[in-house]
Amino acid sequence: MSFSSTSDINSMRSAINQALSEFVKSENKYLAKIGPELDPVATAIESFLLDSGKRLRPLFAYVGLLGAGADASPEIIKAISSLELIHVCALIHDDVMDGSDTRRGSPSIHKLFEKMHTENQLVGSAPQFGISSAILIGDLALIWSAQMLHTSSIKNDQLIRTLPVYDEMRVELMAGQYLDVYEQSLGTQNVERSLKVARYKSGKYTIQRPLHFGASLAGASEELINSYTNYGIPLGEAFQLRDDLLGVFGDPSVTGKPAGDDLREGKRTALIAITMDRATNGQLKDLKSNFGDPNLTGEQVNLLQEIIISTGAASHIESMIKELTDTSLAALKHGGITPVGINLLTELAILATNRKI
Amino acid sequence: MSFSSTSDINSMRSAINQALSEFVKSENKYLAKIGPELDPVATAIESFLLDSGKRLRPLFAYVGLLGAGADASPEIIKAISSLELIHVCALIHDDVMDGSDTRRGSPSIHKLFEKMHTENQLVGSAPQFGISSAILIGDLALIWSAQMLHTSSIKNDQLIRTLPVYDEMRVELMAGQYLDVYEQSLGTQNVERSLKVARYKSGKYTIQRPLHFGASLAGASEELINSYTNYGIPLGEAFQLRDDLLGVFGDPSVTGKPAGDDLREGKRTALIAITMDRATNGQLKDLKSNFGDPNLTGEQVNLLQEIIISTGAASHIESMIKELTDTSLAALKHGGITPVGINLLTELAILATNRKI
Chain A nearest C-alpha distance from B8 (Å): 33
Nearest CA in chain A to B293: A124
pLDDT by residue (tens digit) across B149-208? 999 999 999 999 999 999 999 999 999 999 999 998 997 888 899 889 988 988 899 999
The reply to whether residue B184 touches residue A124, judged by beta carbons under 8 angstroms, is yes
Helix ranges (DSSP H) in chain A: 6-34, 39-51, 56-67, 74-98, 109-119, 126-150, 156-184, 191-198, 209-218, 222-249, 252-255, 261-265, 270-278, 281-290, 298-310, 313-330, 339-353
DSSP B38: G
Of A37, A96, A144, the CB nearest to B135: A96
Cβ-based neighbour number of residue B127 at 10 Å: 15
**Residues of chain A with C-beta less than 8 angstroms from the C-beta of B27:** 171
Of A93, A140, A187, the CB nearest to B171: A140
3 state SS of B191: helix
On the question of pLDDT at A291 being above 70, the answer is yes
H/E/C letters for each residue in A207-233? HHHHHHHHHHHHCCCHHHHHHHHHHHH
Predicted local confidence at residue A251, as pLDDT = 87
Chain A nearest C-alpha distance from B156 (Å): 8
- Say what the ipTM of the complex is: 0.93
Of A167, A184, A186, the CB nearest to B150: A167
The reply to whether residue A179 touches residue B124, judged by beta carbons under 8 angstroms, is no
A-B CB pairs within 8 A amount to 154
Q: Alpha carbon A21 to chain centroid distance?
A: 19
Consecutive sets of 10 residues in chain B, 357 residues long: mean pLDDT of each?
Answer: 62 95 95 94 91 90 97 97 97 93 88 97 95 98 98 97 97 95 88 89 92 97 95 94 93 80 89 95 94 92 96 97 96 91 94 82
Contact, A83 vs A141, CB < 8 A?
Answer: no
Domains parsed from chain B with CATH numbers: 6-353 (1.10.600.10)
| Long-range pairs for B299-308: beta carbons < 8 A, 24 or more residues apart | B301/B259, B301/B260, B301/B263, B301/B264, B304/B248, B304/B260, B304/B263, B305/B248, B305/B249, B305/B260, B305/B263, B307/B275, B307/B279, B307/B283, B308/B248, B308/B271, B308/B272, B308/B275
Of B124, B143, B177, the CB nearest to A167: B143
The arithmetic mean of pLDDT across residues A174-186, rounded, is 93
pLDDT by residue (tens digit) across A202-235? 889 999 999 999 999 999 999 999 999 999 999 9
Q: Which residues pair with A102 in a beta bridge?
A: A107
Predicted local confidence at residue B2, as pLDDT = 41
What CA–CA distance (Å, rounded) separates A15 from A315?
A: 37
Contact, A98 vs A267, CB < 8 A?
Answer: no
Q: Alpha carbon A165 to chain centroid distance?
A: 17
pLDDT by residue (tens digit) across A233-269? 999 999 999 999 999 999 888 877 778 889 998 888 9
Among A270, A241, A264, A267, which residue's Cα sits nearest to residue A252? A264
Chain B nearest C-alpha distance from A178 (Å): 7
Banded model confidence at residue A110, pLDDT cuts 50, 70, 90: very high
Nearest CA in chain B to A89: B139
Predicted local confidence at residue A201, as pLDDT = 85
Banded model confidence at residue A4, pLDDT cuts 50, 70, 90: very low
Predicted local confidence at residue B4, as pLDDT = 46
3 state SS of B303: helix
The reply to whether residue B178 touches residue A38, judged by beta carbons under 8 angstroms, is yes
The reply to whether residue A37 touches residue B182, judged by beta carbons under 8 angstroms, is yes
The arithmetic mean of pLDDT across residues A12-34, rounded, is 95
CA distances from residue B306 to B188, B263, B264, B321 in whole angstroms, order as listed: 22, 12, 15, 20
3 state SS of B346: helix
**Residues of chain B with C-beta less than 8 angstroms from the C-beta of A41:** 175, 178
Nearest CA in chain A to B265: A124
Predicted local confidence at residue A296, as pLDDT = 93
Chain B nearest C-alpha distance from A11 (Å): 30
pLDDT by residue (tens digit) across A297-352? 999 999 999 999 999 999 999 999 999 999 999 999 987 899 999 999 999 999 88
Of B93, B123, B170, the CB nearest to A186: B123
Contact, B270 vs B244, CB < 8 A?
Answer: yes
